[in-house]
Amino acid sequence: MTKNYITPEAYKKFKEELNVLKTVKRKEIALKIQEAKELGDLSENAAYQEAKDTQADLETKILEIEILLKNASIIRPTKSNDFVEIGSSVTVKSLSLSRTKRQFTIIGAQEANPAEGKISNESPLGKSFLGHKKGDIIIVKTPKGDVKYKIEEIS
């Protein structure tokens, strides 16, 4: 099994979601199933079938979160900023056309949000930065061609 790298905040959020799914949502769906059963013939009861489908989806979601949490590796802030690792924030300067500076935080795939600068350790960009240190020049292969970045800061 692959480790799921997540922040302590995300771990807490997933635990809370799991609790709600198991305690609140399960009861709601059980009630809907019971109400649908009371309507009569189950073979032609759309409400019953819909409630059973919803129950199956819920149980799948519960299982997914349980597996995610079981295989979770909590990202802890590092004491060293010598090289980029999961949990690092890295400021880079594009050495290609735009010459812009950007900051990225390397996190697990479960929390990735590129629009917010949160990139997955599994993404091509995230993989390229991992293990490098300040001053390194990294070449990232993209669909539009290679892009060069210089690591300016690691925090």
Tell me what pLDDT residue 133 has. Answer: 95
Domains, the chain: 4-74 (1.10.287.180), 89-154 (3.10.50.30)
CA atoms within 13 A on the CB side of 89: 7
- Read out DSSP for 51-93? HHHHHHHHHHHHHHHHHHHHTEEE----S--SS--TT-EEEEE
Long-range contacts of 135-138 (CB under 8 A, 24+ apart): 137/95, 138/92
Q: Mean pLDDT in runs of 10 for the chain (155 residues)?
A: 86 97 97 86 81 96 96 83 91 86 93 94 93 94 88 94
Task: Name 92's bridge partners.
Answer: 102, 151
Place of tokens 């979770």: 72
CA distance 142 to 104: 17
Tell me what pLDDT residue 77 has. Answer: 72
Closest CA to 92 of 141, 142, 145, 135: 135
Is the model's pTM score more than 0.85? no
> What ranges make up the beta strands (E) of the chain?
4-6, 72-74, 89-94, 101-107, 118-120, 137-142, 145-154
CB proximity list for 58: less than 8 A, separation 6 or greater: 21, 25, 26, 29
Tell me what pLDDT residue 1 has. Answer: 61
For residue 154, the one-letter residue type is: I
